[in-house]
Each structure stands twice: as C-alpha cells, then as structure tokens.
Amino acid sequence: MLEGRQVKVGILGATGTVGQRFISLLGSHPFFVVHALGASSRSAGKPYEQAVKWKLSTPIPQSTRSIIVSECKPEFFAECAVVFSGLDADVAGEIELAFRAAELAVFSNSKNHRRDPDVPLIVPLVNPPHLGIIPQQRSLHNPPLKKGFIVTNANCSTTGFVIPLAALEKAFGPIEACMITTMQAISGAGYPGVASLDIFDNVVPYISGEEEKMQWEALKILGGLTPGTSNADGNHPKKFDMHAAHPLRISASCNRVPVIDGHTMTVSIRFVRRPPPSAQQVREALAAYSTEALVLGCPSAPTEAIHVHDDSQPDRPQPRLDREYQAGAGVSVGRVRECAVLDVKFVVLVNNVCIGAATSSIINAELAIAKGVIAL
Amino acid sequence: MLEGRQVKVGILGATGTVGQRFISLLGSHPFFVVHALGASSRSAGKPYEQAVKWKLSTPIPQSTRSIIVSECKPEFFAECAVVFSGLDADVAGEIELAFRAAELAVFSNSKNHRRDPDVPLIVPLVNPPHLGIIPQQRSLHNPPLKKGFIVTNANCSTTGFVIPLAALEKAFGPIEACMITTMQAISGAGYPGVASLDIFDNVVPYISGEEEKMQWEALKILGGLTPGTSNADGNHPKKFDMHAAHPLRISASCNRVPVIDGHTMTVSIRFVRRPPPSAQQVREALAAYSTEALVLGCPSAPTEAIHVHDDSQPDRPQPRLDREYQAGAGVSVGRVRECAVLDVKFVVLVNNVCIGAATSSIINAELAIAKGVIAL
Amino acid sequence: MLEGRQVKVGILGATGTVGQRFISLLGSHPFFVVHALGASSRSAGKPYEQAVKWKLSTPIPQSTRSIIVSECKPEFFAECAVVFSGLDADVAGEIELAFRAAELAVFSNSKNHRRDPDVPLIVPLVNPPHLGIIPQQRSLHNPPLKKGFIVTNANCSTTGFVIPLAALEKAFGPIEACMITTMQAISGAGYPGVASLDIFDNVVPYISGEEEKMQWEALKILGGLTPGTSNADGNHPKKFDMHAAHPLRISASCNRVPVIDGHTMTVSIRFVRRPPPSAQQVREALAAYSTEALVLGCPSAPTEAIHVHDDSQPDRPQPRLDREYQAGAGVSVGRVRECAVLDVKFVVLVNNVCIGAATSSIINAELAIAKGVIAL
Amino acid sequence: MLEGRQVKVGILGATGTVGQRFISLLGSHPFFVVHALGASSRSAGKPYEQAVKWKLSTPIPQSTRSIIVSECKPEFFAECAVVFSGLDADVAGEIELAFRAAELAVFSNSKNHRRDPDVPLIVPLVNPPHLGIIPQQRSLHNPPLKKGFIVTNANCSTTGFVIPLAALEKAFGPIEACMITTMQAISGAGYPGVASLDIFDNVVPYISGEEEKMQWEALKILGGLTPGTSNADGNHPKKFDMHAAHPLRISASCNRVPVIDGHTMTVSIRFVRRPPPSAQQVREALAAYSTEALVLGCPSAPTEAIHVHDDSQPDRPQPRLDREYQAGAGVSVGRVRECAVLDVKFVVLVNNVCIGAATSSIINAELAIAKGVIAL
C-alpha cells in the first residue's frame, strides 16, 4: 500500500519507553516518517538524541536524532497525518483530547480513553471493524469534527490472549469462560518501573489494576459493534455490546516475573459449543487464523498472526527465544491440550513492547489509512 | 517429644541437593542425629566435607563434616532408626526396596514408590492417618517385615497446593475442580539442573511429568484410606480411594521461572457445596487450619501450617520475602478473592526445598515416632 | 561484656533499607535494645509495622513491631545511649549535627560527616584507635560537649578492601599501590535504587562518586591519628595523616552487577617492602589477622575477621554462598596468587549490608562502650 | 569484494552454540554460502532443523534448515573453499588436523591449535599480517600442502582487550603492563555450560584456564612475526616473537557474572613511553583506529573497530545496550581516564559470541580471500 508515498507522523511521549519503541519501529517503516516529537517541557527545545535517555539495544534511527523535541501541543503537530501517543496515563487524557479537538488522528497506547463509549479499543489482529465507530465519534464531538479522532489499543496482556480467543470464536463460536495466569515482563511497567530489589530472584503475584483491565477490555474487543438503530434524537446509534449475546466470564491472575520483554500466559477456555473442539482442532484453527490487517496489506502486520508450536516443541513458546519472531508483531501459542476443568488449555507469548504496545498502534494507523478513515 | 533422647538417622544421596538440605536441617534437630551417610561409590570412603560440593549458604554442620561416607547398602545403616532418602529417581527404586527388606524405616523424597498401593504418600500437614497402611505394607511383604517400611512424601508442587485444599475440604466439604498454574524455582530441578542459558531472562512453560504428578498425587493424598473389609484371602483390606466419593478434576500448568527457591502458584477452585463459601470464609478457614503434626508436638512442624496474607498485603506472598518464614515449613497464601469462572482463587507459595522436600520427610519421620509406627 | 545489662538505642531512618537492617540485626543483640525509631513526618505516629514496607526475608522482630515511629528530633531519643543513623545523605548531615549537639552518641552509616576533620571514620575490624579523636571532637564543639559525638563508618566497598589491606600492612609494612575492580550488589544503591530494566542481563560500569570515596576513605582509615602536639591556642592537636608517611596510590573501578547482596572485588597490591611477601605468606597473614573488637569481646565482631579460602576452593568466595558466613560480619578472601604487574592479587567478598553498613555501626558502638567512650 | 560470486563453506560442530552462531551470521552473508554441516554421528543423516536444538532468538536461516548434517569427515566437505570449526576442544584437535591434511582451509574457533608454532592466532581487527605464516605452515607439513591450512582466532576475552591495546601500541608505542578484570557472560561457557544454580544472584570469580589464555594469547597476537632468516636446512624461518622486544606483563582476573552475552572488562595499562599519553589522547587514538579488514573491504568487518563512549556517557558501555552495535563485530570502550597506579584505565565491552568467536573466524576467512591466501 501507498508505494512511494510518505506520511508524516508525530509521537507524543517520545522520550519514554513506549515512545522510544515507536521511534525504533518507525525507523524502518515503508511510508510513515517521523516528523514531530512531543515530550515534557523539560525536554522541549533539545535535539532528540540529547533529550532522551535511550534504553534500546538498537541505536536511535539516524533520521530522528536531530529532530527538535517540542511540547505536546497540537500546533506543533499540525502537519502530521497520524499522531502516536505513548504518554503516561497521568497526562495522556487531556492531551489526547486536545489533539483530537485540533482535528488530529490520535493512536494511543494509553489507558485513559479505552473505556470511552465512542472510542474504539482495537487490537489490530482482532477487531478492525470497530473503526466503524469513528464517524459517530466525530459527529458527537462538540463541535463536530471532520478529521480528528482517537483510537486506542489494548493493554499488553489483554492483547496477548484476545488474539487466540478471537481465532477460536471465529472457528468454533462463542467462548463462555476463560482463565488466565500471566507471567509478565518488567518492561511492561515502564521506566524506572520495577525496582531490581523487588523482582530479582522473585515473583510478584500482583499488578495493580491489570486483572480488571484484562477482564473488561477483552469484552469490548471481542464483542460486537451494534448496528445503528434510529432513535428520537438520532444520537448514539452504535454501541459496543461487550459480548452481550454470550456472556463471557474471564478470570485473570497477573504476576510479574524476572523477564525483560515478553508476557507468557497460561490460558484455559470453555466453549459454548458441546461437544467442544478437540485440542487438535484448536491447534489447527489457531494456525489458520488470518487477519484483515494482512489482507489489506498493512506493512507492519505479521504473516502469521498466531505462530503455533506443535507437540515436537513442548517447551515453547519461551519469551527469550520467541519474542522477536516477526519483529514481535504476532503471538506464539504452544502446548495446546485438553483441560480437565474447562475444555482446552494452552500457553501464549506476546511481545508486550511490540504487538502489546507500539506495534498495535502502528498497525491501527495503517488500517485507518487502508480503510479510508484517514484521508491522505 | 522425646526429651533428651537421641535418634540415629541415615541419609541416602547425602551429597546431592536434597541430601545437603537434609543435613543442613538436621544440624539443629532436637533429637535426630546424623549417624550414617550414603552416596555413590565415587564418594564412599571420604569424609563428608571432602566428598560433597556444598551448595548452601549456611556451612556444613560441624557434627557432619567428618562422617565417612559409605555406599548405599543397608549394612552400613543398621543402627539407624530412620533412613532419609534423597536419592535420584534412577537409583532410588531398588535401593529403597533393599533398605526396607533389611527392616529399615525409609522416608523417601523420591518419586519411585509414590504410586505403590501399600506405600503411603504423605504430606505431613495433610494426611498423617495414611501411616495406617504401614502394618499392611509390612505384612504383605515377602517375607513379612517387622520394622521395615517405606513412606514417601509428595512432589514439591503437589505439596504446595494440597495443603490449602485440605484446609478447605476440612472446612467446607469436597472440592470438585481445581486449576493451578505454577511458577517454579530452578532448585526444583536439582543440580546441575537447569542450564543458565535456558532460564535467564526467560520462562520455560513446561516441566516434564510435573503436571501429571500434581494431578495424580493430589488424589492419593486428599483421598481416604478405606477401612479394611475382610475378603477371602485376607489380602489388601485397605485401599487409597483417590478421592473417589467426589471426583476431583485437577488441571495444572507448570512453568519454570528465574527464581532460586520457592514455587509460586495461582490456584482457583470450585466447591461441591452451593452456594460456595465466600472469599472471607475461605481466608478464615485457611488461617484456622491446624495440623496433627503440631498437636503431636513434632518439632519440625510449623506453628502456622498456612500463613495467610490479608488484603493489606495484596502483593504477597513472594518467594524472596516469604520462603524462609518458619524455616520454610509451612505455606503462604495471599490474594484470596472470588473467581469469575470457578468459585475462589488465591496465590500459594511453597518452599520447594523445605516443606516441598526434606522438611516433609523429616516431619513424616517425627510423626511415625509420635504415632508409634517406629518403636524406639 | 555487659552481662545482663540493657542499653537503649535509637535508629534514625528506621523505615529505610539500612534502618531495616539495623532493626533486624538488633533483634537478637545481647544488650542493645531498640527503644526509639525515627523517620520522616509521613511515618511518624504510626506503629513501626504499619510505617515500614519491610523488605527483608526475616520477619520484623516482635519487640520492634509496635514501637511508635517518631520524627528525627533529639527530644524523642533522649533516653538512648546510642543512636544509629541510616538516614539518606540528603538529610543526614543536619540531623546528625543536631543529635550530637543534644549530647547524643551518633553512629552514622551516612557519608555526610566522613570527611570532617574531627570525626573518626571507623571500620571496626581496622582502626578502633581512631576513636581517640572523640575528646577533641567534643571539646572543639561550640559549646563543648560532654557526651555527644559522631562516629561514621565507611562506604561498603571501602570496608571490603581496607580490611585485608590493614592485615597486610600489619604483617608486612606499608603498601604503596592498590588496584581494585568491584562488582557491586544492587542493595548497595538502596531502595528503590537500581531499576530492574537497567541491571537485568547487564553490568553497569559506573557508580557515581564510588571510586573517589574508596580512594579517599581508605587513606583516612589506614592512616594514623597523629599524636597531639601543643600549639599556641591548643586547638587541633590531633590529625588524621592520610597514610602520609608512605603515600598509597589507589585506583578503583566500580561496577554494578546483577547480584542482590555482596560486593565482590578483585584486588592487586604492591608492597613497599622488597622483595615482597609471597602469595603463601600473604594468605597466612590474612588468616592470622585478629582484631581489637574481638579481643574486647564485642558481641557482633566476627571470630574470623578474614576468612581465607585456600587453593582447594579456587572459585571462592562467591556472594551467594559466602555472604552469610558469620552473619556477614567478616570478609572472605580467596584466590591469593602472584600478580604479574604488581605483587600479589586476590578476590575479596564483603557483605555490603552487614559489615559494609549496619554491622559496622553496631560494632563501632560496642567498641565505644568497651573503650569507655560512652559511659553507661 | 567478490561481487556476485558465491563461496561454499562448511561448518564443523554445526549443532553447538558456536556452530549455531556461524549459521545465523552466515544466513545473510554476501558471498559465503553454507554448503556442508558437520556434527557428531548422533546428528548425522538428519536435516539440520531436526538435528539441532536451536537456542538463538532469530530463526534458523531458511537456506540451512534442510541441509543434511554429515559426520565431521573431510570427504563431505571437499567442495568447501572454507571450513569453519566450532568444535569442542575435546575433539577439535584431531578433526582439524585431518581437514588440513585433506587440503581444506580451516578457520577454527577452538583453542587446540592456537599455540602451534606455525598456526597464526588472528584477531582480524589486529593482526592480519600473521597470515604470512601460512606458506610456511603448508611447506612444513608432511607431506607439504598446496591449499590446506589452519587459522585460529582468539579466546573471547583475549579478543576484547587486544583490540584497544593494538590501537594504543600503534599510536603510542609499546605497552609494558596491563591489568584486566573481566566480567564474563554465561554464553562464553557454551551449552549447557553454567548451571543456573551456580550463577543466579552470584559472581563466580574463577574461570578455569582463562587467565592463562589471556596472558599468553595476547603476546602472540600483539607480537611480531619475525622475517625469515635463512638457516642450514631452511626450516622455521619465521617465528612469532611474543612481543619480545618489549616484554609485556599482563595480569588478568576473570569472573563469571549473570549476563547472557557480552564480556565487560576493566583495563588499566602502562606505556613504555614517558610521559605517557593523556586520557584524551588515548580516547582519540582508540576512536581513530582503522583496520586492514575494513580497508580490504571485508563485508563482516565493523566500520568502527572501536566505538568510544565519551564523557557524556559515563555509564557505558553496558552489555545489554551495546553488545549488538554493528552486529557485535567491533568493541566498545568507555570511561577512559587516568589511573593512579598505572597510566590510563578504561572499560571494554566485547560481544563474546560475535567478534569474540564466530565473527572473528568469518572475517579471518574474508581476509584470507582478500589477501589471496585462499585462491578461488
């Protein structure tokens, strides 16, 4: 898509950990070109390479080093067709609203607007059709907008398990229950994040707010966007139904483990369908899952949305060996087997800093262009 | 119990990791005195401190340093009232049989005889009454034995979750389903065990045979020992019923994580009783659980079989902070809360090298003395 | 010493990492009794167990749990014969001065007053005679003091290498050059201290200010306290000579490594004496080193100031195996061998949170009592 | 060089850790094409992807997956212009001799032949002229060889410090003393290598034989190859002089630390030249160092042989942030400063699995082609 064209993008929170990941990933993007960088007033006015304490093992892309960092104000991003937000939650809410009001297209990795009724929460390998809410988001804005909108992507752990769940619901119909235990990497907590004294030689069986996020976000993502029904004042015709037709019970237990990148999860599910599919059928359905993002030619979409390790590799996926596969843009699933309590269980690995964060925002923006939500 | 007396004990596999733990724990025992040490022929004939590559941070107890290591043959252990076995599974089977046949009392940490129909599998904080099978074990031996027997203790992960399950079945009646995800320490794999290149910055979501052990052993431990019914030839009057009256479905997912000692588990359970007890009732029942080992005065039994962390400590238990509590002889439970899929879920921490291994054998031996199974 | 007596002590910075270590060590002290705890105004008024986020694997001593934390003001510590300070450097300076001015005996682990000309910098296994400056410290105070004073102990890395250096200077005369490379534990940076993302799977070859501290402090500790010479106004008769008679060149390279507790160092030295002692002579001199603290019966002093690993243990000392030896109150030395560039080299392990911090303050206080600097 | 041509290469020890690294690096090489893979008889006959337990995070190159592994016999490598050896030392000696005798060009990463008088020990960024010994190596072989030879590369730690030393000797003349303390990654010990129980939360201050290797190999590498002087029978005209004109004393202390890849070293040196160069001059000379490998167009040679971190980055290099720079083909140096004992000290980082191992062999082979030692 877009051969030879260049699309200017901006990054909010450019010096933070998510911002660094955006910059690193965009350094080799076929058409997105980093044009503006926003950070706190402390960094504003400096060349990026002086403003940032770079924490990635790949160097800062040459083209970004000397961009002068600005404050996170819409006027500095007016030329950007896309604005990626890696802002911390304590400031993201207001700034993203201001950018939308200024007719900018915001793709946010922050949690602030995920629960807004007209903001889509999109895992790009799962629910691109939810972009269909955007005309309504614009029209209900005061004043109505022509171009501005906010799209959010999901929490990193949510992203990891909804991708295989979507594949299985597509193949076998609704799931009624899902139990997940996560073993999450330290990078999920940002920087400085987890103190080394808290996590060396240790497991912390608690991540504040994480279980609730996983349980709520999955329903919005896996549920439908109800078609518009006309009502008296014509407002709110579309609604996210939160998987309403088939209530889905989700129980998550979240743990922090001494791993740098990559969240590993054990997942067990129960289908509505009786008898349920076999482990082998589940394995095949996961491997066969294809995504609209790939069909539409999104350049950051993985060829394999779900890489399935078969029984010859019973000890996979592992974060250190598998997190970089396809640049972290897909998920890996292994150990698909029957569950003595629910129906089927398996292990999922998601690269929390790639498809679990920045890569999702980037593919979401690619989807928005491919589907015409952003007009270039 | 046994004020002022001394009971001679032997240790098989004395130079291995479990053997070292036995020696360390027994160094300060009120009545067990290490008298004989068995190891491979390579070590036999050497003083212990030269034979062993000691891996614990506490020094070798002074009284054990100069004991001459012997081969694992019963004649060298004839004076021992108790023989602890920390042998590797590839040799434990035959050696333990030979020791039993030589009228020795064997307390084994190995897996080999756990499934024998007349060998009790005892978690000392759960099922001491299973020692009642021992007269039958002796009488069915060929030739019948007067003093010899084998008692096994459970796998470290099994031990961790059956203790709270026993507490809850005692309080609320049978459990019908249990899902567990473990995050297990590297010490559980022995030495050299896990290669550092396999587990640094990593999770390995597979431990060969571990899930099956947890699922099978729990049924033997939590189930009953059926009373003797007379039959034609009088054989096999007692049987372990494997929790038969209320089938208990257990689904375990085992993972290795970069932690030195201490297995952390997320556990979710469903009771038969409807409505099920509340999270608060579960919390109280866990904290109130008392053990026969403590009542009988076993010196290695923990005062609190289950230490419960309440809601003021939502991030506990943690292996590094909690594994040494009560010298690792109890388990810690935290985050007791409702489960959206089953009834109640919580986090368990078990010190895999203490109550999950050597400490269980030691308390089992204390129990056998207290209950008169071993006559001194 | 002091059989049956109790000496009330206070702890400043009681909720911090050094403060926690003081409380843990004092929980089983034969005569020091924790009487008062000082912390920030945020903690003041709460029972200790509620004020602290306890980070040690041993529980809070029972006797300390319910002590009400106060602010760090002298009036709350008036009954304390000894005040230990584990304050952060940003507040320690002023508070410790105020305590001294209030006639309290302050034993500080902070760096603030280490370079004061009348404040002794004491590694208790090295230079207790430097307590001889205290009368002068009191008399030069304005107004002169009767009881108040400040004693500091050294940086954890300094402590590690000056103990063997003192042993060798005692045996073989002055050292003229010393090169040290440290591999320091994360606990040396306090809490939250080192971010896990900075040190997992990593070495950080820089610790701000550490090399300078090691180079300067060692000279004050290993140097002499010149005898008083009368001068016109009678001031400043005694002075720390900074090893002046034999200039000692020290070159340190400090690194942070992924270890929880215990600083490991490679040390190479050149003696003034030609020919220098052999490796074997050095080994023997280190093992033979005895301390005044032990002779005077200080209960926290280690029996072996320097535990020497001989050639049968070429891979020792190691932090995880050796840091708890003698409760961390001594140092361990291994691999003593000739150096192709200087004379002799070896490896030192110091437990940075014990003899490298709180244990030094405690032995210093024991010494001050034993030598009559504190009158009870 | 060699535009458009393809050069067939073989790999001995293809399933081991060094072998895997060769395969990974060669997967994108401009002209080397993996043609034959040798391993033990246990692997022979299987497609590579079945024979190997792949341990790298990048996938097996597509072109190598289905190559059938053979035994390590010369007849299976007859078509290979270059044979890389990643064999373990216990078998490398004989096999490499057999390959040389079969007229094959062997580039070995093993230690076995490094000390052979006619085998060059080449760090490709330091001493390519030592390839000049090869005609002699061939002629002295019995029977004399036309094409076969062995070239070795150095130990990973040796490689790390001889590169900056070579740069400094080039700029400032001979160095007379060098002290090094290494902090070495676990990957340096191969697989399974270091047991996790030995290195978690630990430092092991000893690596068997490593210090001797560093001290001996550096002299061969940094020393000269004396020009041929005719003697009676014409044998041995050239000799490695082991830095004879200016004896170089090297003292190394080697430590294993919990890092996956990348050896960090503190290095301190004394020059013969008085006064010695300043830290700033040293910094400039290091940054200016250029290599024959780059001049000759070797595609795997780094653009910057030595990447110098200046004072704005006092905490660099760090293994996790810097080991992947230039695909690990150069070294990084930081913290160049004066030394109070010798002249100048600094920190070096070498990627032990790249330029410290496989990358060196590959550049050596590129050099051999560029210099005509291998005729294509």
| Domains identified in chain A and CATH numbers | 7-155+358-370 (3.40.50.720), 156-351 (3.30.360.10)
Q: Strands C7-12 and C82-85, how do they pair? A: parallel
Q: What is the largest CA-CA distance in chain C?
A: 63
- How many whole angstroms separate alpha carbon D77 and alpha carbon D85? 12
Confidence of residue D128 (pLDDT cuts 50, 70, 90): very high
pLDDT tens sequence across D277-330: 999 999 999 999 999 999 999 999 999 999 999 888 999 999 999 999 999 999
Probe site for chain C from A197, A204, A206, A256 (most C CB atoms < 10 A): A197
Sort residue A13 into left (φ over 0), alpha (ψ -120 to 50) or beta: left
3-state SS, residue C193: coil
For residue A146, the distance in angstroms to the closest alpha carbon of chain B comes to 42
> Which residues in chain A belong to E strands, given as ranges?
7-12, 32-39, 70-71, 82-85, 105-108, 149-152, 175-184, 225-226, 239-240, 249-256, 263-271, 306-308, 331-338, 344-350
Q: What are the C-alpha distances in Å from B80 to residues B7, B68, B83?
A: 8, 15, 6
- How many whole angstroms separate alpha carbon B309 and alpha carbon D96? 62
Share of chain D above pLDDT 70, in %: 98
pLDDT at C234 over 60: no
* Residues sharing a CB contact under 8 Å with residue C12, sequence separation 6 or more, in sequence order: C19, C38, C72, C83, C84, C85, C86, C87, C92, C95, C96, C99
Q: Hey, are the CB atoms on A260 and B179 less than 8 Å from each other?
A: no
Residue owning tokens 């020992």: B225
Q: What does DSSP assign to residue C280?
A: H
pLDDT score recorded for residue B237: 83
Q: Hey, are the CB atoms on D55 and A321 less than 8 Å from each other?
A: yes
Task: Enumerate chain B positions whose Cβ falls within 8 A of a Cβ in C.
Answer: 55-59, 200-201, 320-325
Q: Which two tokens stand for residue C108?
A: 């500080």
pLDDT tens sequence across D261-276: 999 999 999 999 999 9
3-state SS, residue C336: strand
Q: Omega of the bond prior to A247 within 30 degrees of 0, cis?
A: no
pLDDT score recorded for residue A270: 98
pLDDT score recorded for residue A1: 74
**What would the mean pLDDT of A72-99 be, rounded to a whole number?**
97
pLDDT tens sequence across A8-51: 999 999 999 999 999 999 999 999 999 999 999 999 999 999 99
* Residues sharing a CB contact under 8 Å with residue A28, sequence separation 6 or more, in sequence order: A61
Task: Enumerate chain A positions whose Cβ falls within 8 A of a Cβ in D.
Answer: 55-59, 200-201, 320-325
Instruction: Check C35, C263, C307, C309 and give the catalytic one.
Output: C263
For residue A54, the distance in angstroms to the closest alpha carbon of chain D comes to 9
- Nearest by CB to A199, from C196, C198, C201: name it: C196
3-state SS, residue D142: coil
> At residue D76, what is the residue type?
F
pLDDT score recorded for residue C342: 98
Q: Hey, are the CB atoms on A321 and D58 less than 8 Å from each other?
A: no
Task: Enumerate chain A positions whose Cβ falls within 8 A of a Cβ in B.
Answer: 177-179, 181, 183, 200-206, 208, 215, 249-251, 253, 255, 257-260, 264, 266, 268, 270, 314-321, 334-335, 339-342, 345, 347
Residues of B within 8 A of D194 (CB-CB) are: 195-197
pLDDT score recorded for residue B231: 61
* Residues sharing a CB contact under 8 Å with residue A244, sequence separation 6 or more, in sequence order: A223
pLDDT at B30 over 90: yes
Q: Which helix (H) or strand (E) holds C266?
A: strand C263-271
- How many whole angstroms separate alpha carbon A80 and alpha carbon A14? 15
- How many whole angstroms separate alpha carbon C27 and alpha carbon C33? 8
Phi and psi at B267, nearest 5°, equal: -130, 135
Q: What are the C-alpha distances in Å from C225 to residues C117, C128, C164, C217, D230?
A: 11, 11, 20, 14, 68
- Nearest by CB to A215, from B215, B321, B340: name it: B340
- How many whole angstroms separate alpha carbon B357 and alpha carbon B54? 18
Q: Which two tokens stand for residue C158?
A: 């300094």
Probe site for chain D from C165, C180, C202 (most D CB atoms < 10 A): C202
Confidence of residue B229 (pLDDT cuts 50, 70, 90): low
**What would the mean pLDDT of C259-263 be, rounded to a whole number?**
98
Q: Omega of the bond prior to B237 within 30 degrees of 0, cis?
A: no
CA–centroid distance for C344 within its chain:
25
Hey, how many other C-beta atoms are within 10 angstroms of the C-beta on A230?
A: 7
Phi and psi at B138, nearest 5°, equal: -70, -45
Q: Judge contact between D319 and C227, C-beta under 8 A.
A: no
Q: Which residue has the higher pLDDT, B2 or D220?
A: D220
For residue A353, the distance in angstroms to the closest alpha carbon of chain C comes to 13
Kindly calculate the radius of gyration of chain A based on its CA atoms and give it in whole angstroms.
20
Q: Which residue has the higher pLDDT, C4 or C240?
A: C240
> At residue D226, what is the residue type?
T
pLDDT score recorded for residue C232: 60
Q: Hey, are the CB atoms on A202 and B335 less than 8 Å from each other?
A: no
Exposed/middle/buried for residue A227 (C-beta within 10 Å: 0-12, 13-18, 19+): exposed
Alpha helices in chain B (DSSP H): 17-26, 48-51, 62-65, 89-101, 134-140, 156-172, 196-199, 210-222, 279-288, 292-295, 319-322, 359-370
pLDDT score recorded for residue C1: 74
pLDDT tens sequence across B325-359: 999 999 999 999 999 999 999 999 999 999 999 99
Q: Which two tokens stand for residue C274?
A: 């030609």
Probe site for chain A from B157, B179, B197, B210 (most A CB atoms < 10 A): B179
Sign of the C-alpha dihedral computed for residues C296, C298, C301 and C304 taken in this order: positive
pLDDT score recorded for residue A202: 98
Q: Judge contact between D334 and D347, C-beta under 8 A.
A: yes
Task: Enumerate chain C positions whose Cβ falls within 8 A of a Cβ in A.
Answer: 17, 55, 186-187, 191-201, 258, 260
Residues of B belonging to the active site: 156, 263
Angle D346-D350-D351 from CA coordinates, rounded to 5°? 155
Sort residue B30 into left (φ over 0), alpha (ψ -120 to 50) or beta: alpha
pLDDT at C212 over 90: yes
First-to-last C-alpha distance (Å) of chain B = 12
Angle D321-D194-D361 from CA coordinates, rounded to 5°? 60
**What would the mean pLDDT of B102-116 be, rounded to a whole number?**
97
Q: Hey, are the CB atoms on D201 and C177 less than 8 Å from each other?
A: no
Q: How many residues does chain A have?
A: 376
Q: Strands A344-350 and A263-271, how do they pair? A: antiparallel
Instruction: Check A263, A307, A309, A354 and give the catalytic one.
Output: A263
Q: Hey, are the CB atoms on A197 and C193 less than 8 Å from each other?
A: yes
- The candidate with the shortest Cα–Cα distance to D247, out of B18, C341, C2, A161, is C341
B partners (3+ CB pairs within 8 A) are A, C, D
Probe site for chain B from C50, C201, C321, C332 (most B CB atoms < 10 A): C321
pLDDT at C33 over 80: yes
Q: Which two tokens stand for residue A33?
A: 């070109």
pLDDT score recorded for residue D266: 98
Q: Judge contact between D219 and D306, C-beta under 8 A.
A: no
Share of chain B above pLDDT 70, in %: 98
- How many whole angstroms separate alpha carbon A293 and alpha carbon A276? 29
Q: How many residues does chain C have?
A: 376
3-state SS, residue A12: strand
Q: Judge contact between B13 and B86, C-beta under 8 A.
A: yes
pLDDT score recorded for residue D230: 61
Residues of D within 8 A of C176 (CB-CB) are: none
pLDDT score recorded for residue A237: 84
Q: What does DSSP assign to residue C358?
A: I
pLDDT score recorded for residue D3: 76
Residues of C within 8 A of D317 (CB-CB) are: 205
- How many whole angstroms separate alpha carbon C262 and alpha carbon B271? 48
Kindly calculate the radius of gyration of chain B based on its CA atoms and give it in whole angstroms.
20
Q: Crossing angle, helix B359-370 and helix B17-26, to 10 degrees?
A: 50
- Nearest by CB to B59, from C58, C59, C325: name it: C325
Confidence of residue B141 (pLDDT cuts 50, 70, 90): very high
> At residue C305, what is the residue type?
A
pLDDT tens sequence across D168-216: 999 999 999 999 999 999 999 999 999 999 999 999 999 999 999 999 9
Sign of the C-alpha dihedral computed for residues A322, A323, A328 and A330 taken in this order: positive
Which residues, in sequence order, are bridge partners of residue D252?
D180
- Nearest by CB to D195, from B193, B201, B258: name it: B193
* Pick from A96-105, B200-209, B232-241, D47-56: least confident: B232-241
Q: Hey, are the CB atoms on D318 and C260 less than 8 Å from each other?
A: no
- The candidate with the shortest Cα–Cα distance to D260, out of D341, D154, D352, D128, is D352
pLDDT score recorded for residue C229: 67
Q: Judge contact between D349 and D322, C-beta under 8 A.
A: yes
**What would the mean pLDDT of C16-32 be, rounded to a whole number?**
96
pLDDT at B244 over 70: yes
